[in-house]
Each structure stands twice: as C-alpha cells, then as structure tokens.
Amino acid sequence: MPTILADTFTSSLGKLSNAEQKQAKLSAFDLQADPSRPGLQMHRVDKSRDPNFWSLRVSRDLRIIVHRSGDSVLLAYVGHHDDAYDWAIRRRIEVHPTTGSLQIAEVREAVVELDRPRAAQQSGFDFDGGTDADVEGAGDATSGRGSEDDRRSAPKSAPRPIFVALDGEALSSVGVPQDWVDDIRQASEDRFLDLAEHLPPEAAEALLVYAATGQLPPAEPASAEAQADPFQHPDTRRRFRVLDGAEELAAALEWPFEKWAVFLHPSQRAVAERRFRGPARVAGSAGTGKTVVALHRVMAALRADPQARVLLTSFSDPLAAALKRKLKVLTAARPDMLERVLVAPFLQVAKQLHTLATGREPTLASNALVDSLLRRGAEDAGETASDNFLRSEWHHVVDAWQITDVETYGTIPRMGRKSRLSASRRASLWPIFERVRTELAQRAVMTEAALFSAVTDAWTNRGDSPFDHIVVDEAQDLGVAELRMLAAIAPEGDDALFFAGDLGQRIFQQPFSWRGLGVDVRGRSSTLRVNYRTSHQIRRAADRLLPQALRDTDGLEDDRRGVVSVFDGVEPQIVLAESEEDETTAVAAFLMAQVEAGTAPAEIGLFVRDNSQRPRALAAVAAAGLCGAETGEADRTGPIVDTMHLAKGLEFRSVVVLGCDEDALPSMERLSSVSDEFELDEVMATERQLLYVACTRARDYLLVTGVSPGSVFIEEMAAG
C-alpha cells in the first residue's frame, strides 16, 4: 500500500519536541509497514466533513491524522490531541474540480464555526484563525511595530473589494475551493492577506499576483498524465509525495524543517527536471528558491546517470559549505551519491584542476603584494591616479582579462563605460601593469584570475572534462576569469552548465557579456516568482530598492514584478536616529523585544556596511545583554554581527541592518574613487543591491537604522 506524505505533516512534525518527533516517526513507520496491524489504534474523526480522516494514537497525548482512501494511506498531520482533531475537523482532502490537483482545503464553514468565539470579540468575522501562530505578538512599544491586536483594532480604511471583477469560473481556474469564492470576491486588500492563509497555496499565489498586477497568471494546462492521475498534477506534487519505502519515509522525515528537500513548487520542479540543450540559468529575486533548484538539478543529474560526476560551485567558502550541508540532506537516503559531487568554491576548483594539469600546486599572490606593486609602479612612473583607480583598472580589466600587451589593452571594452580610456592614457598606464605582471612572474606567484586563466588554457580543446555537469550558484557574482574557466572545463552535451543567480544581488563583480565568452543562456532562462523566505511586508519594502526590471549586458531582461511571498508578517521598521547613541538604544530595544517574544538570539543577524561600523552593532548587542558572533563561528549562541557582504547565503528570523547613514551607504570611499558616470552608476547599483541582500536575509522581522538624515536608500525603502 503506498504511503503518501503531506507537507502539512512535515511542518507539524517540525513543531514537536525532539522526543515527540521520535515517537511520531516510529508510529508513522509502523503504519507504513502494515496499516492494518491490530495494535494500531485508529479512530475516524467523526466531526470532520471529510469521512476519510482518521486519528492514529501515538501516545497519551499525541495523534497522527491519517487520510485513508482507496488503497493508500496519507500522513496528513501530527499534533497534540485537541490540536490534531481541530486540524482534521477544519479540512478536507479532495481533487479540485477545475484544476484537477489534490488539495488540502480548509472547510469554510468549519473555520467560521471554530473561530466564532474568538471572532465574536471583534467587529465582524476575522479570517485569521490564529492556528498557525506564525505572527507572534512581538510588536510592542519598544519595537514600535504595533501588535497584532493593534492591527486588528485599528480602524480600517474603506474596504474596497479587489477581486469583484473575477467570476467564480476565473477563481476556480486558479484552484480556489468553491466554498471560498464569495468571501474572496468581497475581500479588500487588507482582509485578503488574512484570507489567503486559508486557501491552497496555488490559489493564494495567483490572487496575490492579481492583486499586484491586475492579471491572473496564465493557468498551465495540465498534462494528459496529470489529468488521468491527480498525483501527477504539479500542484499536487508541491504538497504530497508518494513514498517508495521505509528508507524514503525515514529520509523525508529526518529534517522536517527542510521542506524544500521534499516538496518543490511546480515552477521549481519544472526547472530542476528540465533538459537543456545548452547553458541555462534560473533567475528570481531573493528567497525564491534558486539555490534549492540548483541542488535539485544536481540530484536529477546524479539520478539520471549513475556514473555522472557533478561540480556544484559558488564564489566563497561559506557558500560552498552551505551547499554541501544542504546536499547532504538531499542525499540522506543515498549517501553514495554525495561521493560523485565536488562541492567547492571557484577558487578551490581552479587550484585542484591546476594541480591535476601541471602536477604543481599554485601559489597565489596576496592582494597586499599586488597593491604594493601597483603603488611602486605608479610612483616610479610618476603616475598621479588614485590607488583605487589603479586597483580597479588592474582588477577589472588587465588582470580579469589577462591582458599581456598594450595593444590588447586598447581592445578590451571596459564594461558599460560610455568612453574608453584614451590611447595615450592607456599607453601611460600600461608600463605600471606590465611591471606588476613581470614582478609577479619573477616571484612565481599568480593572481586568482591568472590561475583561472591557466586552468582555462589547460582545458581548452583538451576534449575531456573533469565533470559531466556543472551547477553554479550565486552566478551573478561570477567574474570574467571564473566564467571562462567554467566554460572551458564544461563538457560537450546537454545539461553541461547551469547557473542560478539574481542580477539584483550582484555585489562583487562588474557586469560583462556572457555571450562574448560563448555562454549564451538566452532562450534557456527561467524566473522563479514565489518567495519562500521573506514575509510579504519585508519583501515589498526590499523590492522598492531595485528597479522592476534589470537587464544584463547581453540584453536579457530580468522582470522582477509579480513575485509573491508564501506568508504574511509585520511591516519592517525603519528608524532614523538623532545620534549613534540613540541608534544603539533603538536597536537594543528591538533585540530585547525579539528575545522576549521568543526569538533565539542565534536567529538574529545584524549587518553593517563595513568593519568600521561593527562597534556600533556590537554596542547595541551588548546593551541588549547579548553576545555577538561572526559568520561561520561554530556553536554560536548569540546573534551574528557582520558586514553586509558576508550576508549572502544566510537567513535569520530577525535582521537588523544598522549604520545606514548618509555618508556610509553608498560607501563614501567608493564614491570618491569613481572616475566617470559609468562607475558612479555601478557604485550606486551595487551599494543598493548590497542593502537589498542584507534586508532579504530576514524571514519575519526587519529593522533598518541609521543616523539622521540617513542613507538615500532608506528613503527609497520607506516610500511605500
């Protein structure tokens, strides 16, 4: 008899204590082994509108809610006695008559009945049943966010129904259950966010898109397979997984918090499983699950070919370490698969391949050495350009493109610049760069770009490739030399190169043409639009920092509109303080309120623009009676305090971005070094993107602070 796992079971399991989880899992395994075993105590949930709900006794107080129909057993929910029954009474599991997907639908009548005592205290029916308790009463006078009670009792502006133009058929086409149609047609925007929590996610997402854009997303026609079998429907597969045996069940329940490992959004699954005949990429704003797709693509490649060797790579050690941790979750049932994947940052890949090709380990030049050679060269040449200019020219042009002579120096376009450096300027600069190259060679050391180039040269036209598939995460921060290397080591054939990235989060590298390097993802690019990490409110505020559409150097447009979050929260808070001391007081008050409301200190991240502001963050942490830690610190119990550049790859329940002063963000040091309009645009874009990256690490709570008048970006965020 097949066992089916619902995502609601996984989420509810994750809310139990470790001991309870163990008991619940044992009962689930027993049930899977033999659902008709006499020892299993099962009772039909009589009060449920769905006759197929049964409760399975786990212990005196714990119950698993099982849905039995046909010859299958579906694990639907687990919880304490009353909670579990309450859950089953409110729901039914059925095939939606229009979409054909299998849904766990909330029964409107039951929701109203069960919520009546609570709703009676308020004016009219409040759709927020409060069962999920996702939004805690963390708002108080000190946090300044306004509590849930405040939100409920605040006078609402004249409610304007937002879905009246949609008839029952249109609502049904996106999966709205029949009994909710009237409520939705009458819902105002405010009320809809509460209401959405009661709808199947595909319906809530489609209506949120409609609320934001005035258009329902086009319904994907179900395949013949999905029409014949609701379990093949993409919307069914995002919440139910048919399990093959005890091992699969054990693996699926091992990490109940990691729901992404088992349940994918249809748009994620489509990209994770698609076959691409050339380089492909997945885009999407922060938190839309690009990394999750990258990881599932690795798994798809490993499954499809038992011999396949895969490279999963990104730009830093911490990112690679995080990818490896997640891949371990996915390979829990098949640890042997992990052995066929190299998970490493670009640089380590290059070092390994260089050693393989030459038999020698490369020695890298330090940044300090390069800087000192540049400075000395400039002094000797009587050059007056700033250190920043020389460093940027070396790093982004001469070294990145591995230019070896002044003629080639003239042919390399400095990306996006309206004007090139004049021939005479290049001629006067070239001896400085040439000297750096010579001195590095004399010392037998290489820059990172030189190492990438050496590997590129070694593998170009070699005819073999160390990997069958290459998957790159955070691809927006690939540099020229790195991309060249990846293209050179990629094999011929399908699914050779896959990139996950967001142009809006580019914070390290300058843009350049991928096509120019032979990596053309046009026609093989998909965009994810469901944000799993960040509440509606935080996402909306962060989105205001970036344009609605971004275009890369090859003209590929990244349309950022129509993104929805899967959960609702509280508005982010923005504080412009009179002084640094006042900022410290405000941040400390926020931290204390968070901890008091139940947020573990380790679930909080504080980010500043640069190290000089770190003491400000540490002062606030200390004033809140906490102890700050750095990214990557093992066994930390306190909040992370770090720079915004190190925020990538992290996520927290609560985030504070502080020190957003007028002269700190954008960075004055960077602004003062710009030499033309392009560089100015580039600095402004990447500084804005940096703030976007930091803010979008937050799941539920976000505080952004600075000393008045504050960063220009704060104004943009606040202008909602």
Ligand X SMILES: Nc1ncnc2c1ncn2[C@@H]1O[C@H](COP(=O)(O)OP(=O)(O)OP(=O)(O)O)[C@@H](O)[C@H]1O
Please state the residue numbers annotated as binding site for ATP.
Answer: 284-291
Smallest gap, in angstroms, from Cβ of residue 473 to ligand X?
A: 7
> Binding mask 665-704 vs ligand X (x if CB under 6 A, - otherwise)?
-------------------------------x--------
What is the CA 284 to chain-centroid distance, rounded?
A: 9
Q: How many other β-carbons are positioned within 10 Å of the β-carbon of residue 215? A: 10
Residue 188 token pair: 């105002």
265 binds ligand X (CB under 6 A): yes
**Among the candidate windows 228-236, 262-270, 431-439, 617-625, which touches ligand X by CB under 6 A?**
262-270
Question: Is the bond into 279 cis (omega within 30 degrees of 0)?
Answer: no
Residue 133 is encoded by which pair of tokens? 């308790």
Phi, psi angle pair for 78, to nearest 5°: -140, 140
The 8 Å CB, 24+ separation contacts for 111-116 are 111/198, 114/86, 114/89, 114/90
Q: Does 268 bind ligand X (CB under 6 A)?
A: yes
Q: Which is nearer to ligand X, 435 or 653 (CB)?
A: 653
* Binding to ligand X, residues 640-669 (CB under 6 A): 651
CA angle 135, 136, 141 (to 5 degrees): 120
Q: Which helix (H) or strand (E) holds 596?
A: helix 580-596
| 502 forms part of the interface with ligand X (CB under 6 A) | yes
Of the candidates 291, 510, 643, 705, which one interacts with ligand X according to CB under 6 A? 291
Amino acid sitting at position 553: T
Shortest distance, position 360 Cβ to ligand X, whole Å: 36
When the beta carbons of 286 and 564 are compared against ligand X, the nearer one is 286
Answer for the pair 189, 216: CB distance below 8 angstroms, yes or no.
Answer: no
List 259, 309, 376, 653, residue binding ligand X (CB under 6 A)? 259
Position 260 contacts ligand X (CB under 6 A): yes
> In this structure, what are the phi and psi dihedrals at residue 17, rounded to the nearest 5 degrees?
-70, 165
Please tell me whether residue 286 binds ligand X under the rule CB under 6 A. yes
Q: Does 315 bind ligand X (CB under 6 A)?
A: no
Buried b (16+ CB within 10 A) or exposed e, 5-28: bbbbbbbbbebbeeebbebbbebb
User: Which of 482, 507, 316 has its CA nearest to residue 402?
Assistant: 482
Nearer to ligand X, 373 or 550 (CB): 550
Q: State whether the Cα torsion 68-71-76-80 is positive or negative.
A: positive
What would the DSSP string read from start to end of 517-578?
Answer: GT---TTSEEEE-EESSS-HHHHHHHHTTS-SEEE-TT--EEE-TT-EESS-----EEEEES
* 342 closest CA partner among 351, 12, 333: 351
Q: How far is the CB of 643 from ligand X (least distance, A)?
A: 17
Q: C-alpha angle 471/473/476, rounded to 5°?
A: 120
Closer residue to ligand X (CB): 318 or 491: 318
Q: Which of 588, 581, 575, 591 minimizes the C-alpha distance to 706?
A: 575
Q: Measured from the CB of residue 697, what is the shortest distance to ligand X in angstroms? A: 7
# residues contacting ligand X (CB under 6 A):
20
Instruction: Using the rule CB under 6 A, give the single segment among 149-157, 257-265, 350-358, 491-499 that binds ligand X.
Output: 257-265
Question: Nearest 10 degrees: CA dihedral of 629, 712, 419, 427?
Answer: -40
When asked if residue 287 is in the footprint of ligand X (CB under 6 A), the reply is yes
Structure tokens at 534: 């960040």
Which is closer to ligand X, CB of 84 or CB of 542?
A: 542
When the beta carbons of 397 and 704 are compared against ligand X, the nearer one is: 704
288 near ligand X, judged by CB under 6 A? yes
Q: Is 263 in the site for ligand X (CB under 6 A)?
A: yes
Does residue 505 belong to the site contacting ligand X (CB under 6 A)?
A: yes
Shortest distance, position 535 Cβ to ligand X, whole Å? 12
Shortest Å, Cβ 355 to ligand X: 31
393 or 502: whose CB is closer to ligand X? 502
Q: How far is the CB of 698 from ligand X (least distance, A)?
A: 11
Please tell me the distance from the alpha carbon of residue 472 to that of residue 480, in angstroms, as a whole number. 14
Q: Which of 91, 281, 290, 437 binds ligand X (CB under 6 A)?
A: 290
Separation of alpha carbons 88 and 117, rounded Å: 19
Contact 200, 103 (CB under 8 A): yes
Of residues 129, 175, 279, 284, which one binds ligand X by CB under 6 A?
284
Q: Of the listed pieces 21-29, 120-128, 287-295, 369-377, which binds ligand X according to CB under 6 A?
A: 287-295
Beta carbons within 10 angstroms of residue 89's beta carbon: 19
Q: Which is nearer to ligand X, 139 or 201 (CB)?
A: 201
Token representation of residue 307: 């011999």
Give the C-alpha separation, 18 to 119, whole Å: 34
342: CB partners within 8 A, 6+ apart:
309, 310, 311, 312, 313, 349, 352, 467
- Provide, rounded to whole angstroms, the least separation between the CB of residue 230 and ligand X: 19
Residue type, 77: Y
Candidate ranges 68-76, 94-102, 288-296, 583-591; the one touching ligand X (CB under 6 A): 288-296
528-567 residues in contact with ligand X (CB under 6 A) are 532-533
Q: Which is nearer to ligand X, 313 or 505 (CB)?
A: 505
Q: Which is nearer to ligand X, 268 or 331 (CB)?
A: 268
Rounded least distance, CB 600 to ligand X, Å: 16
- Among 204, 292, 378, 626, the residue binding ligand X under the rule CB under 6 A is 292
Q: Note whether 192 binds ligand X by CB under 6 A.
A: no
Interacting stretch for ligand X, rule CB under 6 A, among 264-272, 304-312, 447-455, 550-558? 264-272
Residue nearer to ligand X on the CB measure, 48 or 291: 291
508 is an interface residue for ligand X by CB under 6 A: no
236 binds ligand X (CB under 6 A): no
**287 closest CA partner among 696, 702, 704:** 696
What SS3 class is residue 312?
A: strand
Q: Which residues are annotated as a binding site?
A: 284-291
Decide whether 312 or 576 has the Cβ nearer to ligand X: 312
Of residues 5 and 286, the one with the C-beta less far from ligand X: 286
Contacting ligand X (CB under 6 A), which of 93, 264, 624, 640?
A: 264
* Part of the chain binding ligand X (CB under 6 A), chosen from 279-287, 382-390, 622-630, 656-664: 279-287
> Residue 709: is the preceding peptide bond cis (ω within 30°)?
yes
Closest approach of ligand X to the CB of residue 651, in Å? 6
Among 289, 479, 666, 710, binds ligand X (CB under 6 A): 289
By CB under 6 A, residue 476 contacts ligand X: no
Question: Which segments of 187-259 does DSSP mark as H helices, in order?
Answer: 189-196, 201-213, 224-228, 234-237, 246-254
Q: Is 10 in the site for ligand X (CB under 6 A)?
A: no
Our CB check for ligand X shows the closer of 91 and 697 to be: 697
Where along the sequence are the contacts to ligand X (CB under 6 A)?
259-260, 263-265, 268, 284, 286-292, 502, 505, 532-533, 651, 696
